[in-house]
Chain A
Amino acid sequence: MGILQKLTEKPWLVTDHATAGDHDEVSVSAAPTGLYFYFAVATVMFLLVGAMYLMRMGVGHIGFGLDWRPTPKPWLLWVNTFVLVLSSVTFQQARVAARRDQADRVVTLLLTAGLFAFAFLAGQLIVWHELAARGYFLATNPANSFFYLITTLHGLHLVGGLVAWSYATIRVWNGIELAKVKLSVELCAIYWHFLLLVWLAFFCLLLVT
C-alpha cells in the first residue's frame, strides 16, 4: 500500500479480522530501518556542513569569504579515494558471498575490506600530516578548518563502522553460523557505500572549489 492510501484509510470502520490493513507479520529485523533513518540524520549533518562550507566561502557574494584560500589537494587524496572505493567493493563482494553462504570467502573478504578501510584512515592521517608540514593548519584558513572538520566527521563515522565490522568479523571468524551474521554483513556493506558516497560528494566539492 502506498503511503497516500495508508494516510487516507478510514480508521473508524471496524473490521472483523485484525489482519485487514497492513502488517500481517512483524518483519524479521528492524535494523535496516534504523540504519536508513540514521542515514537521514547523517545526510542532514553532512549537507549542513556542505552548506556552511559554501556560505563561508562566499558563494553567491553573500559577503564572507574574503579570506578564503583553497586548501591544496595532495595527490594522496586520490589514492585514498581509490582505497575507499576498493573497501566498498570488497564489502559488496562479502555481502554477495554471505548471501551464497560461502563462509570462507566472507571471512577473507571482510578482513580485506576492513584492511582497506584502515588504509584509508591511515592515508587521511598522512594527508593531515602533509598539510600541517606545509603550514596548512586547522586555524590558518577557513578552507583548512572545513577540510579538517569534514575529514574528521567522515573518519569518525568510518571508525564507528569499523566497530560494527569487527563485531561481525570476529563472529564469522569464530565460525558462528553464517545466517546469524548475514544481516551484519549486509548492513556494514550498505553503511560503507553510504560513507563512500559522502566522501565522493565532499571530494568533488573540494575539487571544484
Chain B
Amino acid sequence: MAYATLAEDLKELHHPRSWVGKYIWSQDHKYIAVQYMMTAVAIGVVALVLSDLMRLQIGFPGSVGFITPEAYYQMITMHGMIMVIYLLTALLLGGFGNFLIPLMLGARDMVFPFVNMLSYWVYLLSVLILVASFFVPGGPTGAGWTLYPPQAILPGTPGRDWGIILMLASLAVFIVAFTMGGLNYVTTVLQARTRGMTLMRMPLSVWGIFVATILALLAFPALFVASIMMMLDRLLGTSFFMPALVSQGQLLGYNGGSPILFQHLFWFFGHPEVYIVALPAFGIVSDLIATHARKNIFGYRMMVWAIVIIGGLSFIVWAHHMYVSGMNPYFGFFFATSTLIIAVPTAIKVYNWVLTLWKGNIHFTVPMLFAIAFIFTFINGGLTGLFLGNVSVDVPLSGTYFVVAHFHMVMGVSPILVIFGAIYHWYPKITGRMWNETLGKIHFWFTFLGTYLIYFPMHYLGLLGMPRRYYEYGHTAFIPDTAHYLNAFITTAALIVGAAQLIFFYNMITSYFYGPKAGGNPWRATTLEWQTPTTPAPHGNWGPNLPVVYRWAYDYSVPGAAEDFIPQNVPAYGTSRDHKT
C-alpha cells in the first residue's frame, strides 16, 4: 500500500527514468488513462465486429457460413459483456476518470499512483482472460450477457466447459482492478483538490465520475459475489443458484438452489451499472455544452443534486429488470414506482442542458455536435424507458426488440456519443495536436444518423412482437415479410456505421503525427486542465506551483470581461458578478 500522498509536493513523485518506466509501467495518471482508453477501445472494436456479424445473420440469415446458432449466442454474450463492462465502464472511469480528475482538480496525480498503475494491469489481465475464452475448446460462453443460471452452466449451452469459467474469472479480476482504481478516484476527489477548489466548484465531469465511481464501488461487489458463487456451482458442485434438474436425460447433482437469487445479485449490480456509465456521460456532456455554447451551465447546483439523487435511486430500482422472473407482484409495484421517480432528476438534467443552449453562443464544433446528438438520443432512449418501467407494458414487450432498441439507445449509443465528443474535445490536450474537422464531421453524421437508422426501426419490430435473442426467424404468421426487409435494412446501416468508425481511427492516428499544433487551450475553456503550463501536460501536471482556484468552472461570457471566458485560476480583480442561474 502506498501511504504517501502526492498532492502537495513534487519531490514525492515517482520520476520515471527509462522509456519503459515512462510508457509501460507508468504511474502517471495521464499515461494510465491512455492505456485504459487504448485497451478499452481495442476490445470494444472486437465487440463492434461481433455485432456486425450478428446483424449479418439476422438481416441475411445463413449468409455467413461460420455463424452457427452456438456461435450466434456466443457473439451476443461477448458483445454485451464487452460493451457494458470492458468498454464503457473502463473507458469512462478508467480512461476519462484517470485523465480528468487530477487535471481538473489541480492535483499532481492520483493519491495512490502505484495502486493506480496496478489497477490498469489487472484490468488488462481481465481483458486477456476474456479474450482467451475465444480460443479455448468450446469457445466463449453463450449464456447471454446476464449469465442467468441454470442454463449458463448446463451442458448444451455453448462454452459450458471453459468459456463460462473464464468469463466469471475475468469478471472477478475486473472487479478487483476497478476497486483499486475506484478507491483512487474517490480519494483523490476528496483529498487532493487544490486550494480554492471546493466541491461545488468542481466541473460537472468530475461530479459525474465521482458519483459513478461510488456507485461502482458499491455495486460491483454484487457481481463479484455472484461470479464466485456461480463459479462454485459450476466447478465444485454447490447449489447456490442451481435447482434440482434433469438435463439431457440425466439428473444433475444439484439440489434446491434458486436462480432468482442470482438475478437479484446480478441486477443489484446491473442497474447501478447503467448509471455508472450514464453519470460520467452526463457530467462530461454538461461541460462540453457549456464550453461550446460559451455559456455557464444552467442550474449548476441542481445538476449536482440530480447526479447525487440519481445515484442514490439507482440502488432501489434493480428488480425492474425482473418483472418477468415470477417475483412477487407487490415488488413490481414498488420497483415500477421507484423507476418512474428516477425520471424526475433525469428530466431536470435534460431541461438544464437545453436551457444552457438557449441563447448561448453555440459553436457547432465536432464535440458540440456529439453533445447535442447525445441529448436527442438520450431523450429517445429515456422515453422508452418510461414505457418499460411499467410492469403491464414491460411484460409483453420484454422479450422483444423494443427492449433491444431501448437499452441500445439509452446506454449504448448515448454514452458512446459522449465518449466520441469527449475524445474529440480532450484529444488536443492529450496529444497536443488537433484532428481534422471535416473528417470529424463526416464521422459524426455517419454515426449519429446511422445509429438512428439502426435502432429506431427496432422499436417498430418490437411492437410487432419480434422476439429478441433468436438466431433465425423463418416464416411465421405474425412476422410479415416487411419485417425481414427492415432487418436487412438495419443490417446494412449497421455495417455502414461500423465501417464509418474507420474514419475516426484514421483521423485520430494521422492527427497524432501530422495534425496542426493545438495550443494549450484551443476551446478557450475555463477548467483547469486547459491551464497547464505545457501541452501535453508534463509529469506532475503543474510545474513548481499548483494552480489556485478563485471561481467556478463556468465563467463564460461574463459581462464586462475582456474575453468570453475566465479560467478558474484567474483571481477576481473586479470581474466578480453576482447573478442567479
User: Interface of A with B (CB < 8 Å)?
Assistant: 6-16, 18-31, 33-34, 37-38, 40-42, 44-45, 48-49, 52, 55-56, 64-68, 138-139, 142, 145, 149, 164, 167, 183-184, 187
Contacts and interface: CB of A to CB of B under 8 A. Distances in A.
Contacts of A42: 221
Q: Which of A12, A45, A149, A164 has its CB near the most chain B CB atoms (within 10 A)?
A: A12
B1 interface: yes
Contact of B240 (A21, A67, A145): A145
A37 B232 CA distance: 28
Contacts of B571: 16, 18
Contact-residue size bin, chain B (C-beta under 8 Å from the other chain): 35 or more
User: Which residue among B1, B184, B554 has the maximum number of chain A CB atoms within 10 Å of its CB?
Assistant: B1
29 contacts: A6-B200, A11-B198, A11-B200, A12-B577, A12-B581, A14-B555, A15-B551, A15-B572, A21-B196, A23-B195, A26-B8, A26-B191, A31-B1, A33-B186, A37-B182, A38-B183, A41-B179, A41-B220, A48-B221, A48-B225, A49-B225, A56-B257, A138-B232, A138-B237, A138-B238, A139-B238, A145-B240, A164-B1, A183-B3
Nearest to B581: A12
A64 B241 CA distance: 10
B153 to A, nearest CB: 14
A44 B186 contact: no
B217 interface: yes
B228 interface: yes
A153 to B, nearest CB: 8
Interface in B173-220: 179, 182-184, 186-188, 190-193, 195-201, 217-218, 220
Contacts of B112: 30-31, 34
Nearest to A8: B301
A19 B196 contact: yes
Contact of A48 (B190, B222, B232, B296): B222
Contacts of A40: 217-218
Contact of A7 (B183, B238, B305): B305
Nearest to B213: A37
Given A30-B5, A34-B187, A142 B195 contact: no
B379 interface: no
B563 interface: no
Given A27-B191, A40-B217, 9 more contacts: A30-B5, A30-B7, A41-B220, A48-B221, A55-B264, A56-B257, A66-B256, A142-B256, A145-B232
B238 A26 contact: no
Contacts of B220: 41
Contacts of B255: 67
B221 A45 contact: yes
A21 B261 contact: no
A62 to B, nearest CB: 8
A18 B196 contact: yes
Nearest to B570: A14
A44 B222 contact: yes
Contacts of B217: 37, 40-41
Contacts of A138: 232, 236-238
B169 interface: no
Contacts of B578: 13
Given A23-B195, A29-B4, A40-B218, A7 B200 contact: yes
Nearest to A142: B239
B549 A18 contact: yes
Given A11-B552, A12-B581, A64-B258, A23 B3 contact: no
A23 B195 CA distance: 6
A149 B229 contact: yes
A12 B558 CA distance: 11
Contacts of B190: 30, 33
Contact of A23 (B2, B197, B308): B197
A192 to B, nearest CB: 15
Contact of B195 (A24, A33, A34, A67): A24
Contacts of B530: none
Nearest to B1: A164
A23 B186 CA distance: 16
A116 to B, nearest CB: 21
Contacts of B82: none
A85 to B, nearest CB: 25
Interface in B541-581: 548-552, 554-555, 571-572, 575-579, 581
Question: Which 6 A-B pairs rank lowest in CB-CB distance, beginning with the nearest?
Answer: A18-B196, A21-B198, A45-B221, A67-B256, A14-B576, A30-B111
B256 A52 contact: no
A40 B214 CA distance: 10
B304 A7 contact: yes
B200 A37 contact: no
Contacts of A49: 225
A18 B581 CA distance: 22
Contacts of A67: 239, 255-256
Contacts of B256: 64-68, 142
Contacts of A184: 1, 3
Given A21-B196, A26-B191, A14 B186 contact: no
